[in-house]
Amino acid sequence: MGATPKEQRPYPHHARDRAAGDRRRGQILEAAIDELAERGWHAASVQGVAVRAGTKPPTVLHHFRNKPTLLLAALEHADAEAQRLMEAETGAAAPTGTAALDAVVAVVERYVERPALARLSIGVAQEATTPEHPAHDWARDRRTAIREALGASIAAGVADGELRADLDVPTEAADLFAVIEGAVAHWLVEPEAIDPVATTRRHVHRLVVPGG
């Protein structure tokens, strides 16, 4: 085969430009997480995100066409970070049984380490309860996806003999999600009153086969 014609080869500066653009996009998303977590959906602004990211509003709007697009991307970015944490904790994209329960506790630990993520995911979900809210579909779909993923992990753990055979899987999945969200939400308001990591750990422990 002949060499690739010079004009068809990718230019190095194009790759550098893409890498720089990806870095800037990531910085904007991180800034949007903090802006949204601190100010809420309605008060958050493109200007506020730009200031936090050390750039200008036109640069933000170059990457994200408007505020709803930006903030929804920030929510998805935060969820992706939680998924990466779960994979790093367990070595699997969809852990099961006790590994999945350990990963759930790790996610709550991450919320405690970075409260902005907790305020983002839980605060916006609570804010987006009406169908008219721009993040309503995200909040509904996210809850459904998490509940189903927890259910699949619990069911697999029951089948493998790691988790109790008498568990009602859909109920336990919904309860576990409620415990996580409720404990973290309580901690955000009254941190001295509750340890969300310990609360979650106690709850998941009761799902495990005794002596397992």
2 pLDDT above the threshold of 60: no
Whether residue 21 contacts residue 55, with contact meaning beta carbons closer than 8 Å, is answered with no
7 pLDDT above the threshold of 70: no
Taking the C-alpha atoms of residue 209 and residue 165, their distance in angstroms, rounded to an integer, is 8
- The residue length of the chain stands at 212
Please provide the DSSP assignment of 82-128 as one string: HHHHHHHHHSSSS--HHHHHHHHHHHHHHHHH-HHHHIIIIIHHHH-
Least Cα distance to 50 among 38, 68, 34, 37 occurs for 34
Q: Is the full-model pTM beyond 0.85?
A: no
- List the single range of 8-12, 41-45, 50-54, 170-174 with lowest mean pLDDT: 8-12
* Predicted pLDDT at 156: 94
* Predicted pLDDT at 13: 57
Model confidence pLDDT, tens digit, residues 56-109: 999 999 999 999 999 899 988 888 877 777 677 666 666 778 988 998 998 899
pLDDT above 90 covers what percent of the chain? Answer: 52
Q: What is the mean pLDDT of residues 6-20?
A: 60
Q: What pairs with residue 163 in β-bridges?
A: 208
Q: Buried b / exposed e across 148-166, counting CB within 10 Å, b at 16+? A: ebbbebbbbbbeeebbbee
Domains of the chain: 12-205 (1.10.357.10)
Summary mean pLDDT of the chain: 87
